[in-house]
Amino acid sequence: MKKYQVVGIGNAMVDVLARAEDAFLAEAGVEKGIMQLIDMERAVDLYSRVGPAKEVSGGSAANTIAGIAHLGGRTAYVGKVKDDQLGAIFAHDLRAQGAGYETAMAPKSEEAETGRCIVLVTPDGERSMNTYLGVTEFLSADDINEDQMAEAEWIYLEGYRFDGPDSHAAFAKAVAACKGAGGRVSLTLSDPFCIERHRDAFRDMIRDHVDLLFCNRAEMRSMYQTEDFDAALAQAASEVAIVACTDSEHGVHVLAEGQRWHVPAVPTQIVDATGAGDLFAGAFLWGLTNGHDLQTCAMMGNVAASEVISHIGARPEADLKALFKGQGLL
């Protein structure tokens, strides 16, 4: 048995969550429903203009890993923060969930700061993310521990991490170490605009290395540059062993071994859509590494996503295992 079921690599961020009206988004020049990269000056300005905010450790892959840890999985995370207040908060929160976190902090002398994402949640539950990457942009191959990657049944790569001068080399090192020791690779596409920036790199990795692809409908169509959703799914399934594509309130489509399943969503009142895909992936991977079939994994993912969007913040607040038992999944 390997030390880790899943090791995630991504942008280590602290989320600043605030409610906002659509009019505020328009006034502040925030495009609704997507992730926009911003600089430090813009981050400070936007933060000064939002109302009361909640600061919680976030980052897409970190949320996934926190979800796996919450379920009792053997898991760890790689992502860079600075030796500052937000960096300390991030590290403490992740370790408190039960996840391993050993990435060396950037020194206090580093000009860039710990990354943060200002998440503006509108009354319809949609989230508009404004991301200052800070030091996490500079995660490099030197931050990848090959022994740790070799000890992982799966590694989980965050698409957002493709933004960064050394990120592709870091991913390549992680993939080689994991695959060389018999592990498998999962990737989340993260965001259509991220795909637009790095489509060729995504395509190469998907074709050559990825065993499990996570995405949503918009990302799937963007990846394969078609409005025909079914055609995009079929193309992905021809390149990857397992495809798990979420479709908002319509549930999730899972494709593997020439088969396709549709698993319905779990209805809930949407308070904050932040983290839905992250927790879906976490629960899916937990189910997979604990021997459950793909349909059950997808249902677990839907239950976890439903829980996380029912409250502010991208980390689970209810006992996910208890929810799984309530649905007859355990």
Structure confidence at residue 9 (pLDDT): 98
Query: What does the pLDDT look like over 213-268, one tens digit per residue?
Result: 999 999 999 999 999 999 999 999 999 999 999 999 999 999 999 999 999 999 99
8-state DSSP, 112: S
Query: What does the pLDDT look like over 127-144, one tens digit per residue?
Result: 899 999 999 999 999 999
| Residues facing residue 78 across a β-bridge | 9
Structure confidence at residue 139 (pLDDT): 94
Instruction: Tell me how far apart the alpha carbons of residues 139 and 127 are, in angstroms, rounded to a whole number.
Output: 26
The backbone torsions φ and ψ at residue 215, rounded to the nearest 5 degrees and listed phi first, read -165, 175
Query: What does the pLDDT look like over 94-118, one tens digit per residue?
Result: 999 999 999 999 999 998 999 999 9
pLDDT at 55 over 90: no
In the numeric block, which tokens belong to residue 159?
């698409």
Confidence at 312, pLDDT banded by 50, 70, 90: confident
pLDDT at 122 over 90: yes
Confidence at 310, pLDDT banded by 50, 70, 90: very high
| DSSP calls for 23-81 | HHHHHHTPPTTSEEE--HHHHHHHHHHS-SEEEEEE-HHHHHHHHHHHTT--EEEE---
Structure confidence at residue 61 (pLDDT): 97
Per-chain mean pLDDT for the chain: 94
Query: What does the pLDDT look like over 181-209, one tens digit per residue?
Result: 999 999 999 989 899 999 999 999 999 99
pLDDT at 42 over 90: yes
Structure confidence at residue 15 (pLDDT): 87
What is the mean predicted confidence (pLDDT) over 48-68? Answer: 91
| Residues facing residue 259 across a β-bridge | 256
Structure confidence at residue 6 (pLDDT): 98
At a CB cut-off of 8 Å and minimum separation 6, what does 43 contact? 116, 118, 130, 132
Percentage of the chain exceeding pLDDT 70: 100
3-state secondary structure of 155: strand
pLDDT at 125 over 90: no
Confidence at 272, pLDDT banded by 50, 70, 90: confident
pLDDT at 56 over 90: no
pLDDT at 157 over 90: yes
Structure confidence at residue 274 (pLDDT): 80
3-state secondary structure of 194: helix
What is the mean predicted confidence (pLDDT) over 56-75? Answer: 95
